[in-house]
Structure 1
Amino acid sequence: MNTRVNDEPAAASLTERAYAVLRDRLVMLEIKPGEPINEDRLRTELGVGRTPIREALKRLEQERLVVAFPRRGTFATDVNISDLSHISEVRRTLEPLAASAAAERATAEDRAALTELRTRLDTTTPSGDNTELLRVDVGVHRAIYRCVHNPFLQDTLVSYDNLATRIWCVFLPRLSGMAGHVDEHVPLLTAIIEGDGKKASELASQHVIGFERAIRALI
């Protein structure tokens, strides 16, 4: 009995690790749309068993990042630009809500972490690498979502941001002004740190609208 109980957190940890690695590879299109997921290779690479990989894939399928076909296997989902309007509709509602909630609910520890993140953004010379800039963008969003302190809302926010990021990745070679898009996070972080929910909501809304406009300009 004791051994079984003690093994459960370890199994959960391995699943979470497999999930996080796979998720970020799928989001950044390191695993290309339509590409098969090689479970054997992943098990060897990550040093985990079959169960953590399978559990991670189940979760990723719920998040529309992979799709499983009977007797064929599991594949990375396609990126459909036609989904942009649907994804943006959800994000235009939830991102301002999350920013406002973060401004109101962030703990002292949260605000210290966001302050440190803002300082790094404000003092680091922007990279010319769009992929690296996009990773920074994703990291800032996830940091803000953690400050909402609502696990259900956080999971939803992360899921839709992941889908939006995959669309970004399709257009990365043609995108200009990515550094400016990331720089928009500095005033947003400031509003959250200072507890200004209204300002944070407005800036988050502008950020999401700007993303959609940037993509539509390239379609």
Structure 2
Amino acid sequence: MKERVTLKREDQKKTLADQAYKQIEEAIVTLQLAPGSIVSETELVELIGIGRTPTREAIQRLARDRLIRVLPKRGLLVAPLDLMGQMKLLEVRRQVEGLIIRLATKRASDEHRRAFAQLDAEFREIAFANDGLGFVRCDRGFNELCITAAQNEYAEDAMRPLMGLSRRFWLFHHQQCGAALPPLALLHADTAAAMAIGDEEGGQRVFEELLENVESSARISLAMNFSAT
């Protein structure tokens, strides 16, 4: 009986840590926490309203994802925007996310395919509404579903550090440079639609178009010599 209670507490702790991670990650990705700013653990606890222990676990995960850098005796550095780093990230993302999309399209369950179909509809609504924040939230759900459906923990470990940084960079570029949302959202919709019906070739083709769109945005930012610290 005692063991069962312990397991329940551990599950609850994990759930709180997951909630803390999701809330802080969104604050970073949506630029609520400015790139290059220094925050304290106490400030994050107050921001999300979750206790210190789950918040510390979330900070460790965010550090692994390169969204936060722990500065001993100084605080927590929100990762600065790094345009050259973004280009390097895209080199890796093309290979890793391409693999995950292939695996997810092949291995998705019926439940996963229904979820991809729902994301297809949501991305199209977001494109019509030109909703930047809605897009980054929907894209997070798409990434998580792809990882779950792919059923490969090694690919997941390689993909996770790329996700938040990619979404944050796109939103920054959208807000600062006027990057067009509808074409990218529709490419995501087309990718999700292909995955919903198990079309591996179609999904890969649209994904390549999607990456070209993202890389074009990165090159434009690089050419404009944008920097934010």
- Fold equivalence (TM over 0.5): yes
| Cα distance per residue 1:165-184 (max 9 Å; x no partner) | 22213222212321111111
Aligned match for 2:103, one of 90, 101, 104: 101
**Equivalent in the alignment of 1:212:** 215
Deviates more, 1:5-14 or 1:35-44: 35-44
Asked whether the equivalents of residues 25 and 31 of structure 1 are also in contact (C-alpha less than 8 Å), the reply is yes
CA distance in 2, matches of 1:61, 1:148: 24
Deviates more, 1:168-177 or 1:15-24: 168-177
Deviates more, 1:35-44 or 1:165-174: 35-44
SS of 2:221's partner is coil
Q: How does 1:1-219 map to 2 (within 5 A)?
A: 1-2=2-3, 3-122=5-124, 126-173=128-175, 174-219=177-222
Consecutive unaligned residues of structure 1, counting only runs of 5 or more, are none
**Percent identity for Structure 1 against Structure 2:** 24
CA distance in 1, matches of 2:182, 2:105: 24
CA distance in 2, matches of 1:48, 1:125: 33
Q: CA deviation at 1:159?
A: 2.3
| Cα distance per residue 1:88-136 (max 9 Å; x no partner) | 1101111221211111000001111111222333456622343333333
Runs of 4+ in 1 over 4 A off after TM superposition: none
| CA shift in 2, pair 1:136/1:6, >3 Å | closer
Consecutive unaligned residues of structure 2, counting only runs of 5 or more, are 223-229
**Pairwise CA RMSD:** 2.1
| CA shift in 2, pair 1:35/1:218, >3 Å | closer
| CA shift in 2, pair 1:43/1:218, >3 Å | closer
Q: Partner amino acid for 1:18?
A: A
Deviates more, 1:99-108 or 1:43-52: 43-52
SS of 2:168's partner is helix
Alignment: residue pair count: 219
Alignment TM-score, normalising by the size of structure 2: 0.85
Alignment TM-score, normalising by the size of structure 1: 0.89
